[in-house]
Amino acid sequence: MKKLLSVFTILTLLIGMTACAKAGDSSDATENYPSLYSLTENYGFKSGAVINYGNLSDNQLLELFKHHFDSLTAANEMKAYSLLDQKASAAATDGMPRMNFTQADAIVSFAAENGIKIRGHVLVWDAYMTDWFFREGYLPSGSYADAETLRARLKSYIEQVITHFEQNFPGVVYCWDVVNEAVADDASERVPNDPRHLRAKRSGSDNIFYKLMGADYVETAFLYARDTVDALGADIKLFYNDYNAFYPEKRAAILKLAESINSFDEGRKLCDGIGMQGYIGGYGTQNGCLDAQLISYIKDAIKQYSGNGYEVQLTEMAVRTYQYDDATAQKHAQYYADLYNVFKTANSGDSKPLTAVCIWGFLDCNSLPSSHYSFKLNSPYCGLFTEDYAVKPSFKAVIKELEAK
């Protein structure tokens, strides 16, 4: 079973992007260049990026964000392991979970006050999930609750979270990642003989949702989310989100999963779109970075997902490079321009299947040690901007590509 998420791990995840941002001046990026989102909206898609609670005290970063992005994803604060309140859940007389929305509300408030929309990320994710959510009495140890009890808890959790943000910040959350990373790459971690490649394990540990709730936990989560959105009368799109979603084999499995979701409730469409996490290139190594083949995969994936009736978003994009000399800087810039050419072309017709490109690695992280999670995840020189908010050649290349007819 999943182990409890350690305090160290939570702090590492929350601090990651704050550590990438250093004292600096963003005025050049905000005063001398058109806003990124004003250019991408001409092609029908939002420009997004990520911030965390700690970033709310960084005025230069916030000015940069407000000028260039019209979509915001909270790094971790809207995930279940951040929201769930163990003490309050254990004390609840109805047996349903309780949340602490303080940090998430602060981020959503910033967005609402500045006309920025929110990607809700994420309702159901097995990684780092709080183990006590699944135990009787919400205790840190002891017996696990039965599947019926857990489904009731999950239903209540999804209803409460979606409803909280819609009622307190009407219309600000424009989509939710309902389930994240439920498709396994490694055959040894998949449910046997399942064309969806449903994840049974992650790094050797059980997928606790699958283990305790069953093989339809993904479909069930989407049903709960759709029922909640419909009951609210809200304009919120529901997404399935995953990494490596542009690789052909995984793309095929995700389409099988999306088909299963949308046939779960008598053909009612529960899933509106596919979120492709855009970590592009090798993880922790320069090998595989800035590979033109990956741009072709992304182009094909947008076409195939949209051809099956789904909106598409690049949800966590980081154009990885672990070295940065003049030649690599220009290669990184051209790679970014080529990506945005693909995005423009995808939306060149009457239909606009690509609805958002959200960049998680929009700042460099080169002051972090190579062992740091964010160093490996995003890469040290992934950004459109340096750690102190200076414009990079990659940003200029993107602007030039978007302004070109």
Share the mean pLDDT of the chain.
94
Q: Please give the model's pTM, rounded to 2 decimal places.
A: 0.95
What is the amino acid identity at position 72? L
Asked if 5 and 306 touch (Cβ cutoff 8 Å), the reply is no
The dihedral sign for the CA sequence 102, 114, 319, 313: positive
Query: Which of 77, 166, 181, 219 does the annotation list as catalytic?
Result: 181
Structure confidence by residue, pLDDT tens digits, 343-399: 999 999 999 999 999 999 999 999 999 999 889 999 999 999 999 999 999 999 999
Query: Which of 77, 219, 311, 316 does the annotation list as catalytic?
Result: 316
Query: Residue 224 pLDDT more than 80?
Result: yes
Structure confidence by residue, pLDDT tens digits, 232-277: 999 999 999 999 999 999 999 999 999 999 999 998 999 999 999 9
Instruction: Give the C-alpha separation, 400 to 405, whole Å.
Output: 10
The dihedral sign for the CA sequence 80, 82, 85, 86: positive
Of the two residues 279 and 373, the one the predictor is more confident about is: 279
Q: Where are the domains of the chain?
A: 7-403
Structure confidence by residue, pLDDT tens digits, 18-63: 557 666 899 999 999 999 999 999 999 999 999 999 999 999 999 9
Asked if 275 and 177 touch (Cβ cutoff 8 Å), the reply is yes
Q: What is the pLDDT of residue 6?
A: 42
Q: Angle of helix 217-232 relative to helix 248-262, nearest 10 degrees?
A: 60
Query: Residue 293 pLDDT more than 60?
Result: yes
Instruction: Give the C-alpha separation, 395 to 26, whole Å.
Output: 13
Read off the tokens for 284.
């922790």
Residue 181 is among the residues annotated as catalytic for this protein: yes
Spell out the CATH class of 7-403.
alpha beta
Beta bridge partners of 283: none
Structure confidence by residue, pLDDT tens digits, 55-100: 999 999 999 999 999 999 999 999 999 999 999 999 999 999 999 9
DSSP 57-115: G-HHHHHHHHHH-SEEEESSTTSHHHHB-HHHHHH-TT----B--HHHHHHHHHHHHTT
- Name the H helices within 169-276: 208-213, 217-232, 248-262
Q: What is the pLDDT of residue 22?
A: 67
Q: pLDDT class for 14, splitting at 50, 70, 90?
A: very low
DSSP-assigned letter for residue 143: P
Q: What is the pLDDT of residue 24?
A: 82
Q: pLDDT class for 1, splitting at 50, 70, 90?
A: very low
Is the peptide bond prior to 7 cis by the omega test (within 30 degrees of 0)? no
Read off the tokens for 385.
């901007």
Q: What is the pLDDT of residue 19?
A: 53
Give the burial string for 40-51 (b: 16+ CB within 10 Å, else e).
Answer: beebbbbbbbbb
Instruction: Give the C-alpha separation, 268 to 340, whole Å.
Output: 34
Instruction: Give the C-alpha separation, 158 to 292, whole Å.
Output: 39
